[in-house]
Structure 1
């Protein structure tokens, strides 16, 4: 059973929680920004979990998705009484409707693959360029994204994940390519077995095995999550 703290993390991360939640510690540790009163944007927010996390740090947040965040996002933010720090918007990441140098922080989780639907790498490149454009000098991108991972993962995605054959998973080299214009970036990779879990409980157990053992021996290119910070 989740503790109060674990429930909050679950509200922020939503799925495969133990594998993706290290993002929060990594972003906090590697960021040089003062979160208090920072101007932030979450892209591809859907249910608004990362907007919740940013608002809890004191950021003023635009919670966005291509068709707008869900009603669940508003309910989640109301639950934590953070509505006054969050506004909602329909934003296509390939054409962000803000002026240059506007945001201190931009964050996304598991978004690039959808932007690159049906092998559209150019859309992924365009989205990262738009993020760069609207970040202030010294502003930071926090990201966590699905990697191409191993051949084994590819077979399973094609067979068992509804969008697995159309989602454009990225490689580590592509992430480096996309971030080429940033002045500095740092990343880690994680996760191998946890992607096989069919329930959150199973994924949690497998994530523990990843953390204790497999993350240390599996090649980075075979892991399925990349977490990073890039500074403009």
Structure 2
């Protein structure tokens, strides 16, 4: 039986997804996470999961940040975005950066079932409106590869810098010293091949990594 992971902070929507999964894949094992920090632990504990259904906006992250970190840390895990966002450009970027599918939350249960079956069979799935959108620029995949070199802690630091936090605020949030944050920033700039933190933040923004929500640890 397949093992599916659901990551969404809305209990009613998780319940709806469980219902569809139960009808399409009777006997499937389903595990859930309601925030990004819990999701990362869940994925670590389920290395053989068949599929992750990922919402883009959960406590601890927004945008494509969680997708990109998971693709970096767990490249074997197929990920399908299930989101209220239906911008074709966003859908195209999610697919370009490793999502196996993108299912709008406005989709009906039959469409969701078809999409899940298609992805589990090894295909990709997205709304028809996405097909006319060109792929990302030739430079963007290279930037994304550089971001994948970051450790999880460096990734968090980059998101927090992008949210405008100072080193001392980041150190307080992550419960480390300011010297540690400075060392992380040096490593981040080296891996991204930039000379200052502003350039690093611009790369994060270009890749749609999302921003740190102040006071919430990812």
Q: TM-score, normalised by structure 1?
A: 0.30
Q: Which structure features the higher share of strand residues?
A: 1
Q: Which structure features the higher share of helix residues?
A: 2
